[in-house]
Structure 1
Amino acid sequence: MTMAVTKFSVDNFQWLSLSVIIVLALIKLVQRISFSNTFRHIPGPKAYPLLGNCLDIVGKSTSEFFKFVSEQCSIHKGSFILWVGPYPKVYFLNPENTQTILSSTEYIDKSLEYNLLDDWLGTGLVTSSGPKWHHRRKILTPAFHYNILETMLEPIQRVAEILVERLRDEVDKEEEEVLKGFNVLDYMKLAALDVVCETTMGYYLGALKNLNSNYIKAVQIVTEISMKRFMNPLLQYDMLFRRTEQGRTYYKELAVIHDFTLGVIRERRQLLHQKLSNNEDESEEKYTSSSKKRPTAFLDLCLQLPELSDNDVREEVDTFMFAGHDTTAGVISFTLYALGHHPDIQERIVQEAESVGFYDVPPTVQTLASMEYLERCIKESLNLPPPCDRRQLYQPLKTPSMVVPAGCAIFIHVYEQHRNPEYFPEPNRFNPDRFLEKFKHPYAYVPFSAGPRNCIGEF
C-alpha cells in the first residue's frame, strides 16, 4: 500500500512538473510573440522564428554583409529592421530619425554588441553607460583641450616623415614590383599606432620601423577578430567563442596587450611619483623618439586623477588605442585613395600648402587651420567611409515617422545617411566644395556622431 502511494505521488509530481514547464514555456512563447508584434509596423526583410535574418547574415564576408544591408536601404527608405536571431536591430537612415536619438540625454547607452569588447576595453569611455560614463566623460574631457592637442604636432610630424620614407621605398622598387601595387592601409595602421601610442601613453612604439613587435601584432589580431564577432551572431556567445580557434587566439593576444599597457602604466606612474618626490625632471629617453620635450600624454593626465586605479587607466588607454588607430588609418587611407583618383584636387592641396609656408618650417596649429581646402578634403573623406553608431533602447523612442519599441538596438547607418541626395547632391562623387555651404539639416553630417555622446576626439 505504501509503495502504491509513493508511486502515485511520484507520478503526480512528474505530471505536475511537466505541466508547470509547459505552462511557463507557453507564457514565454506568448510574451515573445507579443514582443515581436510590437515591431510589425517597421518594414524589413522576411524573418524566420528564432533565426530571424541569420540565414541572410551568417557566413557572409564584411563586403557581402554590407551589400545586403545596402540592398535593404534601397528597398526600405527611412528605416528598417533586421532580426539577428531573437534580437531586433532597427536601422535609421535619415537625419530626422538620427536627431531624435542623438540629441537626447536619455538614449545614451551603447548597444549590447559593445559588450563583446568588455574583455579588452573593460567599461571605458566608449563602452560604459549611466553614471560611470557621465563621470568618465567629465574627468577626461580636459585631456582633449586645444592646448594639449597642440603639443602632439611634433610626434605626428616625426611619424609622418617616417611614413613618407616607407611609401617612397615602395615607389622606388623595380617597375614590376611597383605595378603589383601595395596596400596603403597596412602602412596607415602602423603610422596611426605610432601616433596614438605616443600621444596616448607617451611611449614611442616604432611600429613603422619594428614590424615584429608582439604588441603591434596583438593589436592587429584582436582588432580583426573583434570586427568578425560584430559580424557573426554565433561568435557573440562567449561560451561558443571561447571554444573556437579564433577565441583561443583572441585571448592569447589580449593578454599581450594588457601586459604591455599595464607595464607602461605602472612604470610611468613610478616615474611620475619619483619626479614629484625628487622635484626634478623625469627621464624622457625611454618614452619618446627624440630628445625634445615629450608632449602631454593622455596617460599622464589619467594618472593625475586619484580616483582612477591602474585598471581604470588601462581601460581608457586601451579604449583610445583601439578607437583611435583603426578609424584614423581608415580615413587617411581613403583620403589617399580619393586623391590618387583626383590629381587636380591633389594639386590644389599642394598649392595651398605652399601658399601658407607648410613646407618651409615645421607646421603649427595656425598653419594647419589656414589650410581650408585640405580641411574640406578631409571632411569629404569622413563623409564616405561607412561608420555606424549604435544605441540600446530601454524605453520607447518616438521619431517623426514612428514609435520604436523598447528592447531593440538602434543602428544609425551613417554611410547611407551621407548618401542622401537631398543633403548630398551627387553623393558618390568626391567633392570637397560641398562643405562650402551649411547642410539643410544639422544632423545630416555626423561622422563623429553628435549630441551628448559624440566622439570626444572631435575637434
Structure 2
Amino acid sequence: MKTLNSPKTSPLIQRLQWVFNPLEYMETNVKINRDIFNTQVTGSVGLIFVNSPEGMQELLTRDTKEFYAPGSINEILKPLLGEQSVILLDGDRHKRQRKLLMPPFHGERMRNYGELILNITQQATAKLKPGKPFIARNTMQEITLAVILQAVFWVFEGSRYDELKQLITSLLAVTDSPISSSLLFFTSLQKDWGAWSPWGRFLRMRKKVDELLFAEINERRQNWDETRTDILNLMMAARDEDGQPMTDEELRDELLTLLFAGHETTATAMAWALYWVHRQPEVYQKLIQELESLPKNADPMTIFRLPYLTAVCNEALRIYPVAMLTFPRVTKEQTELLGYQLEPNVGVAGCIYLLHHREDLYPEPKQFKPERFLERKFSPYEFLPFGSGARQCIGMALAQFEMKLALAQIILDYDLTLLEKRPVKAGRRGVTLSPLGGIKMMMNGKRTPSKSVAIPATV
C-alpha cells in the first residue's frame, strides 16, 4: 500500500499560491504525482486532490460509506451565505434542506423560465451601443442576476428589487479579485474597523440585504398567495417529512445561496462561451449555421437541445470550469484510494480543472474544440462541471438552460467583435475561476441574418 507524502512547502506559502495563482499551483503539483497528490491549501490540515476518472468514481460512488461531505469544510462561505445554507449543512439536515429546495429546479419547471431568460437577455443587450466597448462578464452578470432575482421573487421592478440588485452586486465585489478574495480565505483580515474598512463595509451591506430579504419573507407570510409559482413561494410552501416548513432564517440563508451561487457562476460560464465563439471564426460559423437552421418561432426547449450549441457550452465549461474542485469529502476511517492508504479524517476533493485537462481524455486540452463533445460521450466521472454525488449543484438545469438560451439570443441578434489582442487568462474570483479583466468586446450593430430566423420570447 502506497502512502502519499506531504508537500515540502509550508502551509502558508501553499495557501498563498492557491489563492493568488490556483492554475499554476495545480499544474505544478500534478506533474509530481499525476492522478492524486496531497496539498495544504486549507492550512495545516491536508486536502488531497484527485483528478483521474477512476479516482473520481471511487470518491463519488463511495459517498456516505467510506467518505462523507461535511458542510463545515465550506466555512469560508459562511459570511456570504449564512450558517444554515445547504452548502454548509451536514447529514440529515443537509438531506432535508436539499429535498426542500429541489422542486423549483426540476427539469420540467425549466420551461417556465424560457420567456424570462430571453426577455432579460434582449433588455440587457439592447443597452449596448454600436462601436462602444463593453465588458462581456459584466453584461452577462446583469442578465443572470436579473434572471435569478425575477425567478426567485417574480418581481420585475420597485425600490426593494432595485436596492437588492445593487447590494448583491456590491457584496460580490468582495470576491472579484484574488486580493479581495483574501478576506474569505484569511479570517485574520475579517476585522470590523468601521464602515470605511473592507470587512466593515461588507458587514453593513450584508445587514441591509438581510433586512430586505426578511421584509420580503414577512410580506409573503402576511399576504400568502398559494397560486404564485416563483422560487420563494415554492420554498415557503415546501414541507419536510414531519410537515415542517423552513424557518425565516433558513429561507434567508437559502435565498442568499441562490442569489450568489445562482448567478455569479452562470455569468462567468456565459462570458467564457462568448469569448471562445468570437475568438475562433470556425466555431462562430458552425454555431451561426446551426442557429439559423432553427424553424421559425422555435421554442426554448428546441434551442436547448441543439447539438452544436450544447457542445460549445460544454467545451466552455470543460476548458475553464467555474468550480475548480468538487465539494470536498472526508474519510470516515482508514481507507484506500487509487492504491494509496488514507488515514481517518483526511479531506479529499476531486480536481475538476485537472480532470478536464487530461491529455488521455481530452487531446490538446488547452485548445477549444466543441467537436470533442459530438465525437464521444463522456462519463459523469470524466466531465463534471457541476460536481457530482450528494453535493451536485442544485441549479445545474437552470444554469445550462440559461447559458444556451442567452448565448443563442445574443449571437443571433448582434454582430460582436472580440477586442482582446492576447489570450484571456483565468484567475480566482472568490472560490471560482473567472476571466481576468472580464473580456472586452464591442457591439458593431444588429446582425443581418442570412435567412429569417426568430427566437420568440415565449414558452
Q: Secondary structure at the match of 1:307?
A: coil
Counterpart of 2:394, as a letter, is I
Pick one of 90, 94, 112 that aligns with 2:52.
94
Pick one of 84, 92, 97 that aligns with 1:131.
92
**More off after superposition, 126-135 vs 73-82:** 73-82
Pick one of 26, 33, 44 that aligns with 1:76.
33
Q: Which has the higher strand share?
A: 2
Q: Is the 8 A contact 2:111 2:301 kept in 1?
A: no
Query: Greater CA radius of gyration, 1 or 2?
Result: 1
- For residues 76-100 of structure 1, give each alpha carbon's deviation from its aligned partner in whole angstroms, at most 9, with x where no partner exists: 2111112243211111121211111
- Partners of 1:184 and 1:126 lie apart in 2 by 29
Report deviation, 1:434: 0.9
Taking only the aligned residue pairs, the percentage that are identical comes to 22
Report deviation, 1:303: 1.2
- For residues 392-432 of structure 1, give each alpha carbon's deviation from its aligned partner in whole angstroms, at most 9, with x where no partner exists: 41524421221222233223210111011111111111111
Q: Which runs of 5+ in 1 are unaligned?
A: 1-37, 282-293
Q: Which has the higher helix share?
A: 1
Q: Is the 8 A contact 2:3 2:342 kept in 1?
A: no
Matches within 5 A, 1:50-449: 52-58=10-16, 62-83=19-40, 84-106=42-64, 107-110=67-70, 112-121=72-81, 122-166=83-127, 168-169=128-129, 171-173=130-132, 178=133, 182-204=134-156, 214-224=166-176, 228=180, 233=185, 235-236=186-187, 241-243=190-192, 245-271=197-223, 273=224, 275=225, 296-305=229-238, 306-357=244-295, 360-361=296-297, 364-386=299-321, 387=323, 388-396=325-333, 397-439=335-377, 441-449=379-387
**More off after superposition, 91-100 vs 333-342:** 91-100
Q: Is the 8 A contact 1:420 1:427 kept in 2?
A: yes
Report deviation, 1:134: 0.8
- Partners of 1:353 and 1:414 lie apart in 2 by 30
Q: Is the 8 A contact 1:54 1:85 kept in 2?
A: yes
In 2 relative to 1, CA 212–251 (structure 1 residues): closer, same or farther, beyond 3 Å?
closer
Counterpart of 1:57, as a letter, is R
- For residues 108-163 of structure 1, give each alpha carbon's deviation from its aligned partner in whole angstroms, at most 9, with x where no partner exists: 42464411222432322222110011112222222222332111111111111022
Q: Is the 8 A contact 1:202 1:297 kept in 2?
A: yes
Q: Is the 8 A contact 2:164 2:212 kept in 1?
A: no
- Partners of 1:385 and 1:46 lie apart in 2 by 28
TM-score normalised to structure 2 length: 0.75
Counterpart of 1:377, as a letter, is V
Q: Secondary structure at the match of 1:90?
A: strand
Report deviation, 1:452: 2.9
Q: Is the 8 A contact 2:37 2:48 kept in 1?
A: yes
Q: Is the 8 A contact 1:356 1:371 kept in 2?
A: no
Q: Is the 8 A contact 1:382 1:447 kept in 2?
A: yes
In 2 relative to 1, CA 113–257 (structure 1 residues): closer, same or farther, beyond 3 Å?
farther
In 2 relative to 1, CA 128–443 (structure 1 residues): closer, same or farther, beyond 3 Å?
same
Report deviation, 1:377: 0.7
Report deviation, 1:212: 10
Counterpart of 1:154, as a letter, is E
- For residues 271-310 of structure 1, give each alpha carbon's deviation from its aligned partner in whole angstroms, at most 9, with x where no partner exists: 3x2x46xxxx8xxxxxxxxxxxx8x311110111252122
- Partners of 1:79 and 1:137 lie apart in 2 by 30
- Partners of 1:323 and 1:410 lie apart in 2 by 22
In 2 relative to 1, CA 229–125 (structure 1 residues): closer, same or farther, beyond 3 Å?
same
Q: Is the 8 A contact 1:103 1:452 kept in 2?
A: no
TM-score normalised to structure 1 length: 0.75
Q: Secondary structure at the match of 2:39?
A: strand
Q: Secondary structure at the match of 1:449?
A: coil
**More off after superposition, 372-381 vs 61-70:** 61-70
Report deviation, 1:227: 9.0
Q: Is the 8 A contact 2:19 2:178 kept in 1?
A: no
Q: Is the 8 A contact 1:395 1:406 kept in 2?
A: yes
Counterpart of 1:321, as a letter, is L
In 2 relative to 1, CA 424–354 (structure 1 residues): closer, same or farther, beyond 3 Å?
same
- Partners of 2:179 and 2:74 lie apart in 1 by 11
Counterpart of 1:352, as a letter, is E
Higher relative contact order (CA 8 A, sep 6+): 2
- Partners of 2:13 and 2:115 lie apart in 1 by 50
Pick one of 30, 39, 42 that aligns with 2:4.
42
Q: Is the 8 A contact 1:44 1:72 kept in 2?
A: no
- Partners of 2:249 and 2:19 lie apart in 1 by 33
In 2 relative to 1, CA 339–41 (structure 1 residues): closer, same or farther, beyond 3 Å?
same
Counterpart of 2:44, as a letter, is P
Q: Is the 8 A contact 2:20 2:178 kept in 1?
A: no
User: Corresponding residue for 1:285?
Assistant: none
In 2 relative to 1, CA 398–439 (structure 1 residues): closer, same or farther, beyond 3 Å?
farther
User: Corresponding residue for 2:443?
Assistant: none
- Partners of 2:29 and 2:281 lie apart in 1 by 35
In 2 relative to 1, CA 409–242 (structure 1 residues): closer, same or farther, beyond 3 Å?
farther
- Partners of 1:389 and 1:416 lie apart in 2 by 12
Counterpart of 2:308, as a letter, is Y
Q: Which runs of 5+ in 2 are unaligned?
A: 239-243, 398-459
Q: How many residues align?
A: 381
- Partners of 1:339 and 1:120 lie apart in 2 by 33
In 2 relative to 1, CA 384–375 (structure 1 residues): closer, same or farther, beyond 3 Å?
same
Q: Secondary structure at the match of 2:291?
A: helix
Q: Is the 8 A contact 2:51 2:354 kept in 1?
A: yes
Q: Is the 8 A contact 2:36 2:48 kept in 1?
A: yes
